[in-house]
Amino acid sequence: MTAPRTAGVAGRVNGDCPVKDATTVAAGIADDATLAVSGFGSVGDPKAVPRALAAAARDGRDLALTVVSGGSVGDPLDTDLVAAGGVARRYPYQATTAARTAANERELAFADRGIAGLSDEVRFGRLVDPDVAVVEAVAVGPGWLIPSTSVGQTPAYVRAADEVVVEVNDAQPMGLSAFHDVVVRDPPPDRGPLAVSAPGERVGESAVRFDPEKLRAVVRTDRRDDPYEFRDPTATDRRIADNVLTVLERAVDRDPVIGAAPTLQFGVGSLGNALMGALSGSSLADGELRYYGEVIQDGLLDLLADGDLAVASATSLALSVDGQDRVFDAPERYAEDVVLRPSNVSNAPSLIDRFGVVAVNSAVGVDLYGHVNSTHVSGARLINGIGGSVDFNRNAHLTVVALPATAAGGDVSTVVPLASHVDHTEHDTDVVVTEHGVADLRGKPPVARAEAIIECAAPAFRPDLRAYLDRARESSGHLPHDLSTAFDWQS
């Protein structure tokens, strides 16, 4: 009955747990069931049950599942099961070609949700009412499980669901239990504050608890998460990262809140990789730097190993093959400085505020006044989803939006007159960075913001952007626009 802090479990499946095969479990899930699944950053997601459901769908079973995941999940669900037509509704985020295509063809009823509030939305019945939670673990016992490479929304999902299916994955080392710090919040209106007082503090336990009566099945699996593959940063990536680094160095120098204990968040991908490269060896990499974000990738492990970074807190370990090998071979080496939290803690508005986080997130586009599009091309076509950027951009002490000035091989300006889809408003954007420069928007009225942002656009597009602004300024208006031509730039 004991859920261990780090190890000492007598095998991975403890007590009298009903072990079944995935096909049997899948067959017992109703055709129109609502599933709440683990996974964040495309790791720690269940692998066998989604594949078994996909196989059944391909064999003609008429599935119309509703699936809410912690964050992005891997191919078993968002490629295999979605491509087999088994998913009717999907929340809150996706990052696969199959799911994106299905959403844009409106065959999949996708609804894009932020991360921090999702556990509450599911647990308290505002979004969906899950029938079955299907979650990956490294170990399970009566009324507890230990998550694998992501914690995500699992603590909320196993509470919200009527039944729980646990995939115990032998390819995920037991040592991962040393990373987790699981706390569960009481519901409003009497929930107390989150007790975490520093990015590296642990206040909870390794295990996720649930009503033991809910455990319907344990499925044994033995398959690693699909590893990340990182491309080398391009010259543009590096110029953007260098400009972000300049912003960060200035902030540490001039802003006592940031200077006291620089705490960064940035996303996975080319921006994050280039930024970690720029940080390494910079004046910020003095061992006091802290990371408080969503996802931990290889570069953060390098910064920790080199003594550049003091601590990294997130909800997901999204690693390359090499990164998996490093962590899986010696989890104890990293576990002291790496914490994996439920995503309503990793992304908690109150903690992002309390730690004075500097958020650095990418975007699809930015308009002249600082409204940011993170999700849709031409106002309509979904890319991935808003994810946690909404939590960090809103609540950070300093919010930096960093993006290449052009897309489509240079043919399209990402700096546009008016964003055709707004995910982050002008009220949240402090600094815009491209490879061409830095626009510090703080305290500036709209026209001054526009003038600063135009200097970050690619030189070839600046004259047209200036012409738009001039044309808009022919009319009165605090935030000048010429709506009749505002979208001429967007194909």
Binders of a second copy in range 155-214 (CB under 8 A)? 187-195, 197-198
**d(Cα 138, Cα 149) in Å, to the nearest integer?**
9
Closer residue to a second copy (CB): 244 or 317: 244
> Which span sits near a second copy by CB under 8 A: 17-25, 148-156, 240-248, 353-361?
353-361
- Identify whether 130 is preceded by a cis peptide bond (ω within 30 of 0): no
Does residue 124 interact with a second copy by CB under 8 A? yes
Please state, in angstroms and as integers, the Cα–Cα distance from residue 429 to each residue in 190, 277, 366, 422, following that order.
32, 24, 10, 12
Provide the minimum distance between the beta carbon of 354 and a second copy in the complex, in angstroms, as a whole number.
Answer: 5
Provide the minimum distance between the beta carbon of 94 and a second copy in the complex, in angstroms, as a whole number.
Answer: 10
Provide the minimum distance between the beta carbon of 20 and a second copy in the complex, in angstroms, as a whole number.
Answer: 30
Does residue 89 interact with a second copy by CB under 8 A? yes
| DSSP tally for the chain: helices H, then strands E | 18, 26
> Which span sits near a second copy by CB under 8 A: 259-267, 272-280, 317-325, 458-466?
259-267
Q: Supply angle C-alpha 367, 370, 371, rounded to 5.
A: 70
Number of residues that bind a second copy (CB under 8 A): 87
Question: 373-402: which residues touch a second copy (CB under 8 A)?
Answer: 376, 378-382, 386, 390, 394-395, 397-398
Question: 313-352: which residues touch a second copy (CB under 8 A)?
Answer: 349-350
> Which span sits near a second copy by CB under 8 A: 52-60, 166-174, 251-259, 454-462?
251-259
**d(Cα 416, Cα 402) in Å, to the nearest integer?**
15
**d(Cα 444, Cα 148) in Å, to the nearest integer?**
46
Residues facing 152 on adjacent strands: 342
Residues in the chain: 491
Among 31, 442, 467, 470, binds a second copy (CB under 8 A): 442
**d(Cα 385, Cα 91) in Å, to the nearest integer?**
10
Closer residue to a second copy (CB): 26 or 252: 252
Does residue 11 interact with a second copy by CB under 8 A? no
Question: What's phi and psi for 381, nearest 5 deg?
Answer: -95, 115
Does residue 443 interact with a second copy by CB under 8 A? yes
- Identify whether 256 is preceded by a cis peptide bond (ω within 30 of 0): no
Does residue 353 interact with a second copy by CB under 8 A? yes
Please state, in angstroms and as integers, the Cα–Cα distance from residue 188 to each residue in 123, 181, 192, 358, following that order.
12, 22, 9, 28
Among 58, 444, 462, 471, binds a second copy (CB under 8 A): 444
Provide the minimum distance between the beta carbon of 479 and a second copy in the complex, in angstroms, as a whole number.
Answer: 5
Does residue 231 interact with a second copy by CB under 8 A? no
Amino acid at 144: W
Question: 407-426: which residues touch a second copy (CB under 8 A)?
Answer: 418-426
Parallel, antiparallel, or unpaired for β 295-296 and 263-266?
Answer: unpaired
Does residue 354 interact with a second copy by CB under 8 A? yes
Closer residue to a second copy (CB): 235 or 476: 476
**d(Cα 133, Cα 36) in Å, to the nearest integer?**
5
Name residue, tokens 């009298």: 16
Q: Answer yes or no: are the C-beta atoms of 417 and 465 closer than 8 Å.
A: yes
Closer residue to a second copy (CB): 58 or 444: 444
Structure tokens at 318: 């999204």
Provide the minimum distance between the beta carbon of 286 and a second copy in the complex, in angstroms, as a whole number.
Answer: 16
Closer residue to a second copy (CB): 260 or 467: 260
Known catalytic residue: 332? no
In this structure, the dihedral spanned by the alpha carbons of residues 133, 155, 385 and 407, taken in order and rounded to 10 degrees, is -120
Q: Which of 136, 294, 426, 435 is catalytic?
A: 294
Among 47, 159, 371, 436, binds a second copy (CB under 8 A): 371
Residues facing 89 on adjacent strands: 66, 109
Q: Answer yes or no: are the C-beta atoms of 429 and 441 closer than 8 Å.
A: yes
Question: What's phi and psi for 90, nearest 5 deg?
Answer: -145, 130
> Which span sits near a second copy by CB under 8 A: 101-109, 141-149, 231-239, 408-416?
101-109
Question: 104-123: which residues touch a second copy (CB under 8 A)?
Answer: 104-106, 109-114, 120
Question: 465-484: which residues touch a second copy (CB under 8 A)?
Answer: 472-473, 475-481, 483-484
Q: Which residues are catalytic?
A: 294
